[in-house]
Structure 1
């Protein structure tokens, strides 16, 4: 019943309380007495499905997610800007701010489908290839490969693109954009510049707290700088409706507070909060629970901070275990190098993903191994980051010392490491489980929760 009605629901805003009430009453009159059609939390509607499951239907023009509040406002504003392109030669740039789970990707895909349906040229752009690989797999059979490649493009695809090649470019995870492109980061001038140059309307979906490598240059100031170069108008909009983590803004604020990214109100779950958060003392128990949940629908995964080397000589062998925690006899392989669809491959439950394979994707449940690069000091009550504990095969902090004072190096590494765990801990729609190498950090997280989950 839920799937049926959510696809046929009109869009409601906070001002439409009477209409929403009448809509639900009409549904109940039709006989749905015993099932919950919508889960409502403080006036927000929350979907129970993930984007990758309904992508094909969305590209056919079907409304799979109900847009609410700021999502609807942003959606209509971008379409309005697209429709005004014919009335002016001036470029337009729109920056959309939004934290994890606020529907940035869902909004981008909805816009892509609608803009194409209206006859304009558009493309979805991302720096990270993992989401595009999943979308490619999900669209296979419903769309020609050449068409998929034309609609879903990497951020390095516009080096030689003529000006205004596209009417609209929808740049997801824009905070992950790099300056240079190519395997050796030696091609092009600047990805932000190339995207603005290549489109008449460029839309950047951004969350600067998800910048996780030194090479990530997708900041609002960088976008504004290149917009000025092309005499593009710039407008900024916010997304705040939460669709992940059981629709709770409180959980994500709590994660920010926990990691000392910013101070927010403490978070204490109550009986109405349905997000499953657990702290484990044994990583084997966490893995067993994730595997059990994954057996239901293949939508749960293990991830870890990049603190263990990826053994390249055996990168396609699951039986070679990169991640080892000897005191618990725990061993696990990183995601294999011969697959681009780790997030949906049934056998990949035996592999742990890292920030590079899971950013931009979502699962029902995620099990996070917090490595030795993050710990807690009980004497100072501070979260401590340690860049020296990162794996040598991780390039996130490569070039950290170049042109920076020791203080600047520490501040930048601190931000990247904390942002990494912020992203990992916000991948789960229904639950997040954590195991910490540092026992003091485990104890601190339990205290921060106020209510024990384990």
Structure 2
């Protein structure tokens, strides 16, 4: 989708006559939605500067110009394109426009991140050169016409308000790799930008270049397919066994059948913690891409997307992998059947509305089904951990029925976490009083579960376990305020337990906390560890879960004010006290159940409530006593047998 398209001559005339913004605004309103005054002002300023750039007698007046090009099947928008021919090939110069006046270098994160003033404050964002290059990478990876014709895409960035300074952080060697791929031009460098454009646009557009970019067939490139397939080979983390393989084959069969018959389909996969939902989802993503189906891996939380994308990257282009991983809030503007297959991991975390202010779209479940020819939902309803989580099997079926979509179902039962048995999970459900189970005194296997009376000892133990393979982490319930000013500083400690002289930071502003080096010294939260797994997990339980009068109780008032998972609960309790109390009680119990099932080999716990610690110790002691009784009985029977 393009908001504005013309020739260089037409664009210059529209700017000169001061109608360019009105035309952009009118089309934007019709095709997309309302836009803000700030965005209109940014258009006006930036497009005035681009008109100055293009007022050069050597830039052909019949070159094509496009503004606000929405890359098909994504929410990404290219600010400005000028297209033409260099005498041998068709070219399109992609220009990322910024009004930034300054930036700060960011040494801590990957060399794509800078800090600048955005939205009323200093924020981390991608370097404009990387942003421009990533758009080109996205188009080249998925637009078959661009690859086959070919149309050569040339990215750059133009920061027309940016004041050049000595030792300029914008062009620091830290960002050299991306600047080499997409040069950046600053205030006072208009002639350099003109020269860059004229290098590729010597003649006008005779071949409808913009149309072909906008309407090219969407198909993953062969290099992308091969690279992804190679990354799974020999990687034990992504090997499927038992019912994973069965469900995987079922999904492939139904997806291909539905798509070839021009019918929509939905496949619902139920599975508890550690049943291999994410491993299956990643294998499906790779296989469907391999077979030419345009496929996306979708989660509401960014943490699992970023971790699995990082694990898959290897030597492959970073953005090529990133483009296959999508947030659940981006489907409200998608067209019907834009995607062949959407693979939705952690579907229980889907929200009703999308957007920063939860004001976009109708329902994420419905929007995903509508925009995809075949949708796969991996779900565990017991892992809904915020008031906004609405993903349920019933709701998926409801919208599928409304849209006339076939529904298929499968289940994953085999455990790959918690040492290969669902006995521990059943025992934990009983302990946390989520549901009564037969596993009151039975973990079902040899699982390492311990209660610590000092959080310092807990951290020391997890750090020691982590030395083996960087697969042990500390997580905590959301009972401590997140100090926003220190979100990138490990010396700023959010979690403080004074009686033990203990403190540590929440996970820093790091998208891959679960696998980053040194992040063992930072505490993860439900949002950064859900959908992921470790060998050992250390869980700090706060005052929102306590033991009183012989029962495990929850207390939402002990949650941090910065906790968004129970935002709005006070209003709900006033309006519907019984329903709201039950709902928030379930969220808190589900949160700790999720945190305490992240470890494959063991779970170590510290409780701020000593009564709860005593109760957990008593419950695990009953397990050990019963194991000892069984062992003694077996020994006695053996001795009797061989007398």
Greater CA radius of gyration, 1 or 2? 2
Q: Displacement, 1:216?
A: 0.6
Following the alignment from structure 2 to structure 1, what is the Cα–Cα distance between the partners of residues 468 and 250?
A: 40
Q: Is the 8 A contact 2:386 2:565 kept in 1?
A: yes
- Pick aligned residue for 1:89 from 262, 269, 273: 262
Q: Is the 8 A contact 2:339 2:371 kept in 1?
A: yes
Following the alignment from structure 1 to structure 2, what is the Cα–Cα distance between the partners of residues 277 and 125?
A: 33
Equivalent residue for 1:236? 409
Following the alignment from structure 1 to structure 2, what is the Cα–Cα distance between the partners of residues 109 and 119?
A: 16
Q: Deviations over 1:257-301 (max 9, x none)?
A: 11111111235468x933211111111111110011112221111
Following the alignment from structure 2 to structure 1, what is the Cα–Cα distance between the partners of residues 309 and 285?
A: 15
Equivalent residue for 1:385? 554
- Pick aligned residue for 2:608 from 437, 443, 448: 437
Following the alignment from structure 2 to structure 1, what is the Cα–Cα distance between the partners of residues 431 and 232?
A: 41
Q: Displacement, 1:58?
A: 6.9
Q: Displacement, 1:137?
A: 2.5
Following the alignment from structure 2 to structure 1, what is the Cα–Cα distance between the partners of residues 551 and 303?
A: 34
| Higher relative contact order, structure no. (Cα contacts within 8 Å, ≥ 6 residues apart) | 1
Question: Cα–Cα, structure 1 residues 63 and 364, in superposed 2: closer, same or farther, change >3 Å?
Answer: closer
- Pick aligned residue for 1:425 from 596, 616, 620: 596
Q: SS in structure 2 opposite 1:429?
A: strand
Question: Cα–Cα, structure 1 residues 62 and 165, in superposed 2: closer, same or farther, change >3 Å?
Answer: farther
Following the alignment from structure 1 to structure 2, what is the Cα–Cα distance between the partners of residues 407 and 248?
A: 35
Following the alignment from structure 1 to structure 2, what is the Cα–Cα distance between the partners of residues 363 and 285?
A: 19
Q: Which runs of 4+ in 1 moved over 6 A?
A: 55-58
Following the alignment from structure 1 to structure 2, what is the Cα–Cα distance between the partners of residues 56 and 168?
A: 17
Q: Displacement, 1:364?
A: 0.9
- Pick aligned residue for 1:210 from 375, 383, 387: 383
Q: Displacement, 1:326?
A: 1.1
Q: Displacement, 1:206?
A: 0.4
Matching of residues 261-340 of structure 1 within 5 Å:
261-268=434-441, 273-337=445-509, 339-340=510-511
Following the alignment from structure 1 to structure 2, what is the Cα–Cα distance between the partners of residues 334 and 140?
A: 26
Q: SS in structure 1 opposite 2:334?
A: coil
Question: Cα–Cα, structure 1 residues 89 and 307, in superposed 2: closer, same or farther, change >3 Å?
Answer: same
Q: SS in structure 2 opposite 1:388?
A: helix
Equivalent residue for 1:416? 587
Q: Is the 8 A contact 1:61 1:113 kept in 2?
A: no
Following the alignment from structure 2 to structure 1, what is the Cα–Cα distance between the partners of residues 380 and 232?
A: 28
Q: Deviations over 1:7-48 (max 9, x none)?
A: xxxxxxxxxxxxxxxxxxxxxxxxxxxxxxxxxxxxxxxxxx
- Pick aligned residue for 2:327 from 136, 142, 154: 154
Question: Cα–Cα, structure 1 residues 75 and 58, in superposed 2: closer, same or farther, change >3 Å?
Answer: farther
Name structure 2 gaps, 5 residues minimum.
1-226, 626-643
Following the alignment from structure 1 to structure 2, what is the Cα–Cα distance between the partners of residues 86 and 335?
A: 42
Following the alignment from structure 1 to structure 2, what is the Cα–Cα distance between the partners of residues 59 and 153?
A: 20
**Pairing 1:396–2:560 present:** no
Q: SS in structure 2 opposite 1:302?
A: strand
**Pairing 1:349–2:550 present:** no
| TM-score for both structures, normalised by structure 2 | 0.59
Name structure 1 gaps, 5 residues minimum.
1-54
Equivalent residue for 2:281? 108
**Pairing 1:76–2:245 present:** no
Q: SS in structure 1 opposite 2:467?
A: helix
**Pairing 1:168–2:341 present:** yes
Following the alignment from structure 1 to structure 2, what is the Cα–Cα distance between the partners of residues 59 and 204?
A: 24
Following the alignment from structure 2 to structure 1, what is the Cα–Cα distance between the partners of residues 563 and 338?
A: 35
Q: Displacement, 1:149?
A: 2.8
Q: Is the 8 A contact 2:481 2:561 kept in 1?
A: yes
Question: Cα–Cα, structure 1 residues 59 and 111, in superposed 2: closer, same or farther, change >3 Å?
Answer: farther
Q: Is the 8 A contact 1:122 1:151 kept in 2?
A: yes
Q: Deviations over 1:373-428 (max 9, x none)?
A: 00112x3x221000000000001111124454211121011000000000000001
Q: Deviations over 1:321-358 (max 9, x none)?
A: 11111111111111112x11111121211110110111
Equivalent residue for 2:315? 142
Equivalent residue for 1:407? 578
Matching of residues 52-63 of structure 1 within 5 Å:
59-60=231-232
Following the alignment from structure 2 to structure 1, what is the Cα–Cα distance between the partners of residues 598 and 294?
A: 31
Q: CA RMSD in A?
A: 2.0
